[in-house]
Structure 1
Amino acid sequence: MKHLIIGNGPAGVIAAETIVGHAPQDQVVLLGDEPEPSYSRMAIPYLLMGNITEQGTYLRKDPQHFSSRGIRLEHGRARSIDTAASIVHLADGRGLSYDRLLLATGSSPVAPPIPGMDSPGVHTCWTMEDARRIMQLAQPGARVVQMGAGFIGCIIMEALAARGVDLSVIEMGDRMVPRMMGAGAGNMIKAWCQHKGIKVYTSTRVNAIEPGTPLRLTLSSGEVVEADLIISATGVKPQIDIARDSGIHCKDGILVDATMQSSVPGIYAAGDCAEAFDQATGHTVVSAIQPNAAEQGRCAGMNMVGRALRMTDVPQINVLDTLGLISTSFGRWDGVPGGEHAELIDVPAFRFLRLEFEGDRLIGSNAVGHTQHAGVLRGLISQRVRLGAWKDRLKEDPTRLMEAYIACAQQQEVWRHAS
């Protein structure tokens, strides 16, 4: 059996290792389109900070790791899939055949339609080559403007701040991290960043970028901001063109079932490019976080070698360190129609906790500064624990999460074993 994996990020690497671990006689080809060893994009900010070297970003540190396991590495960009002939055509004219195919193509930065986005000095922070260019320009005292304050943007922001630049952040949403935090948590993170000396603009758009030295950004407020370097961190989207063009069913991502198989038998998808059904929310979702990529890669690899494994939930977990302030977002943090919530705010201490309920279940949460509750929040939400009378107790005091978990989750576990 020949397995071809397009994409050598976390999902692709773990899938390849899973396949050879359970079917060592099978052939595995791992295709990457960058001239780098397999690395973690989430480690790039730590490279910018100087905490690690480029080798520290590598997913596997041993240069012989893949070859010693019989995994063949190939470099090239996949252009199209002939699903009838089971061949992937590359941009350089080569064709790679397969019996099982995994699409682990990840995601790519979204380029906002702003005049001047192609100016010299405007960069994304997504690839290793991006990081090298940014490190040359983001010197102490340099005026840096970052567009976007989402999850990835906040991680990049921290790395830039550590380099001693004069940093401004512009976010079109009405708060920071608007896709994982509600108004209370997002605005508290904004206040924290301002407290740390970063200029933060929310509900603000960049209307145009004027090239030159310095670059000049015209904002929707009419203000003009000068910069020596502009970082675009305005979000990412799943890389699914090759799948859609090949007739594989897609929505926002490549639609997969609980085994990670797509609408075409023998073709699987995992990681940032995959859209899977989430039993907890009742609809399909793309979860562009590394833990999800790892789990889906393992699930796909198992099923590609005939070992039945199913994923019925899609991890929706974000833990963010913003200049030393830890925040978390779990599950349906934005609540559901008709749902109830509980909220606890301590503005001077930069502490915030909001719980979202549906019936007597906790379905989502936002927390800032409440690190001691992270594991319990995850357990209550992911296990869909029925709280009973503890729901009202949590509405009165949201910090009683550990008591609720012990009283409800463990008791229900005993009942399941007894039955």
Structure 2
Amino acid sequence: MKIVIVGAGQAGGWVARTLRDRSFQGEVVLLGAETLPPYERPSLSKQLLSGKENKPPFIFGDTELDAARIDFHANCIVKKINRDDRYVECANGLQFSYDRLVLATGGRARVPAIPGIDLPGVYTLRTVEDSANIFSQIAIGRRMLVIGGGWIGLEVAATARAKGMEVTVVEAGDRLCARSIPSEISEFLLQKHSAAGVSIHFNTSINSIERESNTLMANIGDARLLADIIVVGVGLIPNSELAKDAGLALDNGIVVDERGQTSDAVIYAAGDITNHPNNWIGKRVRLESWANAQNQGIAVGRVLSGEEFAYDEIPWFWSDQYDTNLQVIGIPQPECVNVFRGSVHDPAFTVFQFLGDRLEAAIAINNPRDIKLAKRWMKAGKFPPVFALADTQTRLDKF
């Protein structure tokens, strides 16, 4: 059997790796739009952007791809799927037949419709090349404007500020990361960035961007924000056009079942582009996270290697900003009751979110152990009493 994987990012790379780890003996073809073999993206806004590392963590190196007998093609942008004859065609004219096809095309940075957004000095962050371009502009005393107070924007802001840049963040909403964390954690992040010297503007939109000599000017009403570099971090657009053109079922991403199978029985999908059922949430969801891309890629690889396997993970993600590691498991909800273990003024604390008597989510600051325990409880459906969670003197590992 021949399996073709379109997309050589986190999800596609793990599909390929899992197939070989599970002793799949057929052909594996991996088609990537970038020049590099599969790599992990979290370092783009952290270690790579800070200069602490000069290359991202690779899922496969060049020699490993050869050793695993994976036929990897870089710079191969797939433009067409022929479902009747079962082949894909790349922009360079190459065609690859398949018995099973996996779509792991990920997403691209969302670019808002702002006049001047395409001027030199305005960047998005999605690839190694993007990270290198931004890194080349980082220097002590230079000015960076970040559009978007979400995870990417805040990580870029923290990295740039730590390197001595003057940083301003513009957020259209009224708090940071409003869609994914409770207001108390938004306020904690605000205080963390403000203490570091980052200026943050809420309820503010950029009307236009102009450039004069080497200075960028972002117009906000009657005022202007001046910058040497602008980084746009306002979300991701799933690369689902290929699936749409092929007639696959779509609904905020490619619709798949718990095995990663699409509406075409021989086509599968994994990662940021999938709308998949999630038992913990109790509904379909499309997740944009490192963990989902990896774990769903592994799940699809196991299915295609012949296992009876269903993808059923509790959502989890993390962010590193300054000296703070933030981790979230589950999906925080505004209607939940928050149980604090420790205080936002402590070096480490955790917020457990309950809806009725069910633990819906946990948000931990510099407390990864609490996240591991919360995951165990959530999977088991058994939770410590609230008084124990709130009492920092009570050992949680006994529950």
TM-score (norm 2): 0.92
Deviations 1:263-315 (A, max 9, x none): 110111111111211111111112221122111111111212322111133x3
- SS at 2:272's partner residue? helix
Give the Cα–Cα distance (whole angstroms) in 2 for the partners of residues 235 and 82 of structure 1: 31
Give the Cα–Cα distance (whole angstroms) in 1 for the partners of residues 124 and 359 of structure 2: 37
Q: Which residue of 2 aligns with 1:410?
A: none
Q: 1:398 to 1:382 in 2, by over 3 A?
A: farther
8 Å Cα contact 1:329/1:365 also seen in 2: yes
Give the Cα–Cα distance (whole angstroms) in 2 for the partners of residues 327 and 263 of structure 1: 37
The residue type paired with residue 342 of structure 1 is: V
Q: Which residue of 1 aligns with 2:134?
A: 134
- SS at 1:133's partner residue? helix
Deviations 1:319-353 (A, max 9, x none): 222111232222131155xx544346745447664
Aligned residues: 396
8 Å Cα contact 2:80/2:88 also seen in 1: yes
Q: 1:16 to 1:264 in 2, by over 3 A?
A: same
- SS at 1:65's partner residue? helix
8 Å Cα contact 1:192/1:350 also seen in 2: no
- Residue 174 of structure 1: how far off its partner (Å): 1.6
Q: 1:357 to 1:330 in 2, by over 3 A?
A: same
Q: 1:142 to 1:291 in 2, by over 3 A?
A: same
Give the Cα–Cα distance (whole angstroms) in 2 for the partners of residues 105 and 92 of structure 1: 17
Q: 1:202 to 1:402 in 2, by over 3 A?
A: farther
The residue type paired with residue 273 of structure 2 is: C
- Residue 355 of structure 1: how far off its partner (Å): 2.6
Q: Which residue of 2 aligns with 1:268?
A: 268
Give the Cα–Cα distance (whole angstroms) in 2 for the partners of residues 145 and 377 of structure 1: 37
Q: 1:345 to 1:32 in 2, by over 3 A?
A: same
The residue type paired with residue 364 of structure 1 is: A
Deviations 1:237-285 (A, max 9, x none): 2211111221111111211111111111011111111121111111111
Q: 1:157 to 1:94 in 2, by over 3 A?
A: same
Q: Which residue of 2 aligns with 1:365?
A: 362
The residue type paired with residue 406 of structure 1 is: K
- SS at 2:207's partner residue? strand
Give the Cα–Cα distance (whole angstroms) in 2 for the partners of residues 400 and 263 of structure 1: 52
Give the Cα–Cα distance (whole angstroms) in 2 for the partners of residues 53 and 181 of structure 1: 32
Q: Which residue of 2 aligns with 1:411?
A: none
Q: Which residue of 2 aligns with 1:216?
A: 217
The residue type paired with residue 98 of structure 1 is: Y
Unaligned runs of 5+ in 2: none
Give the Cα–Cα distance (whole angstroms) in 2 for the partners of residues 107 and 168 of structure 1: 26
Deviations 1:338-376 (A, max 9, x none): x54434674544766433223322111334355552222
Q: 1:299 to 1:276 in 2, by over 3 A?
A: same
8 Å Cα contact 1:185/1:368 also seen in 2: no
Q: How does 1:233-252 map to 2 (within 5 A)?
A: 233-252=233-252
RMSD: 2.2
Q: 1:343 to 1:386 in 2, by over 3 A?
A: closer
Give the Cα–Cα distance (whole angstroms) in 1 for the partners of residues 319 and 194 of structure 2: 17
Q: Which residue of 2 aligns with 1:70?
A: 69
- SS at 1:260's partner residue? coil
Unaligned runs of 5+ in 1: 408-419
- SS at 1:271's partner residue? coil
Give the Cα–Cα distance (whole angstroms) in 2 for the partners of residues 362 and 24 of structure 1: 39
- SS at 2:177's partner residue? coil
Q: Which residue of 2 aligns with 1:414?
A: none
Give the Cα–Cα distance (whole angstroms) in 2 for the partners of residues 231 and 207 of structure 1: 16
Query: Is 1:321 aligned to 2:323, yes or no?
Result: no
The residue type paired with residue 278 of structure 2 is: D
8 Å Cα contact 2:159/2:321 also seen in 1: no
Identity of aligned residues (%): 27
Q: 1:129 to 1:224 in 2, by over 3 A?
A: same
Deviations 1:368-408 (A, max 9, x none): 35555222223223433255xx24x258x3657854x634x
- SS at 1:64's partner residue? helix
- SS at 1:52's partner residue? coil
Give the Cα–Cα distance (whole angstroms) in 2 for the partners of residues 204 and 304 of structure 1: 47
The residue type paired with residue 18 of structure 1 is: T
Deviations 1:223-250 (A, max 9, x none): 3110110001111122111112211111
Q: Which has the higher helix share?
A: 1
Q: Which residue of 1 aligns with 2:51?
A: 50
Q: 1:383 to 1:335 in 2, by over 3 A?
A: farther
Give the Cα–Cα distance (whole angstroms) in 2 for the partners of residues 12 and 139 of structure 1: 35
Q: 1:60 to 1:348 in 2, by over 3 A?
A: same
Give 1:342's match in structure 2, choosing from 334, 339, 357: 339
8 Å Cα contact 1:102/1:268 also seen in 2: yes
Q: 1:381 to 1:264 in 2, by over 3 A?
A: same
